[in-house]
Homo-oligomer: A and B are copies of this chain.
Amino acid sequence: MTAIAPRAWQVVLDAVERDLLDGRLSPGDHLPPERTLAADLGVGRSSVREALRVLEVLGLIRTAVGSGPSAGAIIVARPGGGMSALMRLQVAAQGFAVADVVKTRLVLEGAIAAELASRAGVIDLSAAEQILTAMERQPLTEAEFLALDTQFHLSLAEASGNQVITATMAGLRSAIEGYARAGAAGLASWPATSARLMLEHRGILIAILCGQADAARLAVHAHISGYYAETHLASVSSATASSTTR
């Protein structure tokens, strides 16, 4: 059935995927040179390059020119970039609604906070702690604050050790980064809002450290939905991930 019209670049993609699944390729390995790959698979070099471009954007490989061990296409399996590109473009193309992106953030980040709280004591949260301290050290511009804010949220996901959620969160975040930035510019008082956000960050961290899973989830929920409500980007009235509140 797939033999009717196997697109040439698909052949390459499938071959790489099969090599990965069969263990012939692992993270850190080099892919064969483009010209070799083309000859081996019986396709043109252009088609190989199209497939490699996809793999690169998806975060599976990184390419480098020159010679030596660091040159060529190398398997890296770094999902963050691909997830970000995918989500960003889907939001741009209206395949994803901003409100849905925010809702999904609520679900994922709420779950992360709850899980971290339930494992309080055995999780290292010093990275998140340091980011908060850095945020509170001096007044920050909107851009600087949002950058550190992103780092804080991501550090929580990373602490959980769940690569899938971490990458997905990073993608969601970057997809609506432009909207968050635009929203910050229209706030009545940025110093007031940023001060509140920092307090909420502390509250989230404390709830996690004290093992209060539900409190942590609610704090994250309020933190995220509050910001988007204040900036009029999305009114997230959904009961998603907060059905346990009553």
Contact = CB atoms under 8 A, between A and B. Distances in A.
A119 B237 CA distance: 12
A101 B165 CA distance: 8
B60 A79 contact: no
Contacts of A172: 164
Contacts of A162: 100, 103-104, 240
Contact of A60 (B20, B93, B107): B93
Interface string A78-109: 11001101111110111111001101100110
A78 B58 CA distance: 16
A138 interface: no
A244 interface: yes
A168 B165 contact: no
Interface stretch (A34-42, A47-55, A196-204, A225-233): A47-55
A17 interface: yes
B92 A21 contact: yes
Of the listed residues A53, A100, A161, the one surrounded by the most CB atoms of chain B closer than 10 A to its CB is A53
Interface in A109-153: 111-112, 114-115, 117-119
Nearest to A27: B94
Interface residues of A, number: 67
Contacts of A244: 213-214, 244
Contact of A59 (B46, B57, B90): B90
Interface string A144-179: 000000000000000001111101100010000010
A100 B46 contact: no
A107 B168 CA distance: 13
Interface of A: 9, 17, 20-21, 25-27, 46, 49-51, 53-55, 57-60, 75, 77-79, 82-83, 85-90, 92-97, 100-101, 103-104, 107-108, 111-112, 114-115, 117-119, 161-165, 167-168, 172, 178, 213-214, 217, 238-241, 243-244
